[in-house]
Structure 1
Amino acid sequence: MSLSMSSSSAASAAAAAASTPKSSSSPAAASSTTSWFSGIVRGRGDKPNTAKLSKSASATGIGSGDYGGPIKGKNQFRGVLFKYGPKSIQVAFKTGEYKQQVIFIGGLTDGLLATDYLEPLAIALDKEKWSLVQLLMSSSYSGFGTSSLKQDAQEIDQLISYLINKENSEGVVLLGHSTGCQDIVYYMGTNAACSRAVRAAILQAPVSDREYKATLPETPAMIDLAAKMIKEGRAEELMPREADPCAPISAYRYHSLCAYMGDDDMFSSDLSDDQLKTRLGHMANTPCQVIFSMGDEYVPDYVDKKALVNRLSKAMGGAEKVEVEHGNHSLSNRVHEAVQAIMSFVKREGPSGWDDPWS
């Protein structure tokens, strides 16, 4: 179905959309490939991998294509809405009709049109003959409390399978925001067949839900309650309303997000180097960029952000680091810098085919 999408309609369902941090886990080694991003891996040791972006960075590109470009007007996207799975929530919106796609994976409470940089990013990607795909999953909007990283990974795999089989995709780049970063790390650790079509990963705002939640007074008692419910075999039952005002949340998901070494606990500053490597080390098999907001409001003041991003990059085998000075969690105050960083990574080398995941 072809249509124009505006935030006044699509985002109305997400009035509460305000993403919070994240975390994830699961090691696994992906088989080496000869992707067209291999030059990023080869070049890691040759030059500094830290980029500092200034407020004066200019916007990237304008719309192109016979259809008039991906943006019709302010907060209005032009593209195709399609179903990628059998569930009613499993729909995605794609701008452009290109063989390479950047898949945006939002954080807690996010859905379509989740961040301000998606509009200029769609324009910049269109100019380079890339499509931007925004997906809805079972965990989108208020669904995160009764979902899991495992469920998200399964649905991401369904989307990539659809793009391969229905759109003749030549490969995708995964772009995660907030808890979407945990989703990417978890998915790449599953070694799912379609994960071989992932050419690179971008983690924007990979921060710890646990460390943020620890700043709230009700958290310790709620963690104890969640642990007790899980021990009693009630992991999928809902926590009291005060556990999370944004959405109903199960004991399992609350514990996963808020407890030490829970399934979502992946980017916490108090994890040891070995713990970070265990949870993030498999990302060394995928060209990866970490975009860290140095003014992220969901990172407690006591956390040394520069030291944390260095440790995360090291745990992922030397991921490229982009430190956005004064940037907030969603980079709504540094939109141009966000687009500049993402596009410089995506454009590093042109596409030259990809490995058939079933070959």
Structure 2
Amino acid sequence: MSIEKISNITTSAVRAGINTDEHHGAVVAPLHLSSTYSLKGFNDKRQFDYSRTGNPTRATFAQVIADLEQGSVGIVTSTGMAAVHLICQLLSTDDTVVIPHDCYGGSFRLFTHLAKRGQFKLIVVDQNDQQALDNALAHKPKLVLLESPSNPLLRLVDIEEVTKVCHAVGALVAVDNTFLSPALQQPLTLGADIVFHSTTKYINGHSDVVGGVLVTKTAELGEKLAWWANCIGITGSAFDSFLALRGLKTLPVRMKQHQENALQVADFLQNHDAIDAVYFPGFPEHPGHEIATKQQAGYGAMLSFEVKGGVEAVKKLFNNLQIFTLAQSLGGVESLISHPSTMTHAGMEIADQLEAGITQSLVRISVGIEDVEDILTDLSHGLAQSQL
């Protein structure tokens, strides 16, 4: 990605909604909490009439995300999983969906349970296994879900190449871009049809909002999904949109600091005696390093690692940390640590976890923007205690 593109994203994020109030000249986009809006007259609607259908604050946020992702239509939802569920409204009982075997546990749970109810047919596949992916695509799926980097093992797929083969069999491609945000990756420019986020994470960045957003490449697809979002009532609130819009303004500068810290943390962990393996695309030896370098503007601030000594060592690590907080989620300014098997991916059966490479000794961290020396000191102490 060029410097011009990065600069444009930075400026666009900072300027989101600035100086758009035509009534009072407010510099910051106003928060519109009204649930309903008056008509000009009989059967004469204004732009907005009811906040489930449309809200000025939410519309501003949706448009900014669409612009950052270089898409046509943005749809703000109440949660990240609501955005995933919205995509499912495109499917019928005869359609086939292909998802990665190592996707986020909530997505895995949703797709597998909807398939059990007969909403669609499902194929779960290792998308890094070309033969397995080809076999899945031979079923001519309606939708292929991609997650790159994957949660929690940071596996990469070549979005552009996979999208080409998916389109060749008539499949729509939806990409979960939560781990990177539009500051570091724009899947629609790589050919994808839909990109979605949990805005709870990096886009908001302050762990005080739960929300989601999806952006479509074409207006036609966006209009169809917007109709469904209104129909089933999963659009996001005005207040959550206002907070997420505020957080978005610092996204590029936050991501810069997140990544600087993450690189030092990854180097520290890679050389630590208590660690068996580190999964971080920024390492040249990472299997997806070349792909990440090609399609991303940075390597992100998520990484995972295997602790020597298994789950008991993991418990000791968690019990001896002060900077890192043991909690769900990611992408906030604070550093978080989690145990995927019992937290983010607890909705998967143990057999499915193991198939995806999620072991009891696996730990995932979201590196915050605290002073990196404090972060390293905290990890050093915790890891030392984990081996006692």
Ranked by relative contact order (alpha carbons within 8 Å, sequence separation 6 or more), the top structure is 1
Question: TM-score, normalization: structure 2?
Answer: 0.28
User: Which structure has the larger Rg over C-alpha atoms?
Assistant: 2
Question: TM-score, normalization: structure 1?
Answer: 0.30
